[in-house]
Amino acid sequence: MRGKPKPDMDLSASLPASEWRRKAVHAGMGLFALTLRWLDWKAAAAIALAALLFNLFVLPLLPRGIYRDAGAKRDTGIVSYAAMVLVLIVLFRGRYLPIAAAVWAMMAFGDPAAAIAGRLVGGPRLPWNPEKTWIGLLSDWAVAGAAAVLAFRFVAARALEPEAVAMLMGGAGLFAFLESVRSGLDDNLVAAPAAAFFLAWVSASSPASGAAARPGLWLALALNAVLAATAYRARAVSLSGVIAGALVGAWILAAGGWGAYGVLWSFFLAGTLASKLGYRERSMLSRIVCSRRSSPGFLPTRRAGGSSSRPASPPRSRTHWERSWEASTGTAPSRRRAAGEYPSDPPGPSPGRDSARRSSGRL
């Protein structure tokens, strides 16, 4: 009956098994953020660099059970995850290392929570991104905030004041919002650095010694508005990506200075280039498959083990009955046979065959 859920409905069918494995690995790697309590930033950066090299060169040689596109050589999300962890450790070393652990926890647990809740629960769509839902955004905020508070508390090894908890929840809200924006880049490259610089800016008790090298907020907004408009005219990003990129770029430039802004642009250019190359590779593969399927020498067949292609059999010579049918109807046998109206074998009496013979004077 309408309105009643099916008793045997399996909610896990909304997410394939490969996506469940991907989210499990994504969250499991976040547990290594807790090791920043004992590791110094150099050792942690060396481990993160090793993980990045593994994802770049070794993982493509292994079975691709966690790839979203099994035909791709590398998965952009997996590579950008390790790269962003490395950047967080290098930029927020020293007394800011707990912030790196907090944002790492946001990436590890917030994104899987948003995907699982959005796919399994559903609900109203976001007005700025119809591919994502409100329940996914709120789940991302709640889980990322809780994970950030716990990771910051453990790595800092001190009790947190209510202001620090509010700061971390605010950073998680910014992280969740930027993950929901369709920017054309991987979510890790957009949401993580903005949340990290927000936390660093709020937690700074006094201006850094190099504060004079940081431009003002209005200058940063004007500069990023010009660069975002240029990128939009070049069709490098979407409209929502222009808005998010301009705000994030202005915030990072004003809070982190020109060095952090250069790191942001390096990730933007690398992510854009990887996306364009991936799209071109998939487009070439699609054209090759389509041209092969449309080739007259290949016919699609269905076998017990799946679908395949085989060379077409050479045309056989027409029989006496085929010549009689063509002479009586004036239609090519192949067209009649394709329409299901042409008998190819004469095992016994048939109304269609008898009418053909009668019209040709042979019956």
Residue ranges covered by each domain of the chain: 15-206+216-290
pLDDT value at position 345? Answer: 47
Quick one: average pLDDT of 337-361?
50
**Each residue's pLDDT tens digit, 53-72:** 999 999 999 888 888 887 78
The rounded mean pLDDT for the chain is 75
Dihedrals phi, psi of 56, to nearest 5 degrees: -80, -40
pLDDT value at position 8? Answer: 38
Q: How far is CA 125 from CA 12, 119, 132, 276, in A?
A: 20, 11, 6, 28
**Each residue's pLDDT tens digit, 26-61:** 999 999 999 999 999 999 999 999 999 999 999 999
What is the dihedral sign for C-alpha 168, 173, 176, 177?
A: negative
Q: Helix or strand or coil: residue 239? A: helix
Q: pLDDT-derived band of residue 287, with 50, 70 and 90 as boundaries?
A: low
pLDDT value at position 112? Answer: 93
pLDDT value at position 103? Answer: 96
Q: pLDDT-derived band of residue 143, with 50, 70 and 90 as boundaries?
A: very high
Token pair, residue 182, equals 């369709």
Comparing 219-228, 237-246, 287-296, the range with the smallest average pLDDT is 287-296
Residue from 253, 199, 200 nearest 225 by CA = 253
Tokens 């920017």 identify what position? 183
| The length of the chain, given as a count of residues | 363
Helix count and strand count (H, E) for the chain: 13, 4
Token pair, residue 309, equals 């292609």
pLDDT at 206 over 70: no
Q: pLDDT-derived band of residue 220, with 50, 70 and 90 as boundaries?
A: confident
Residue 36 · residue 155 · CB < 8 Å = yes
10 Å CB burial of residue 73 (0-12, 13-18, 19+) is exposed
pLDDT value at position 230? Answer: 82
pLDDT value at position 54? Answer: 95
For residue 348, what is the DSSP state? S
> What's the 3-state SS for 37-65?
HCCCHHHHHHHHHHHHHHHHHHHHHCCCC
Quick one: average pLDDT of 137-153?
95
**Each residue's pLDDT tens digit, 108-130:** 999 999 999 988 888 899 988 88
pLDDT at 13 over 50: no
Quick one: average pLDDT of 202-210?
54
Quick one: average pLDDT of 199-223?
64
pLDDT value at position 253? Answer: 73
pLDDT value at position 31? Answer: 95
Between 341 and 209, where is the model more confident? Answer: 341
Token pair, residue 161, equals 């004041």
pLDDT value at position 49? Answer: 96
Residue 80 · residue 107 · CB < 8 Å = no
pLDDT at 307 over 70: no
Q: What is the rounded distance in angstroms from the CA atom of residue 344 to the CA atom of residue 342? A: 6
Quick one: average pLDDT of 255-262?
67
pLDDT value at position 267? Answer: 61
pLDDT value at position 6? Answer: 40
pLDDT value at position 337? Answer: 52
Q: Helix or strand or coil: residue 251? A: helix
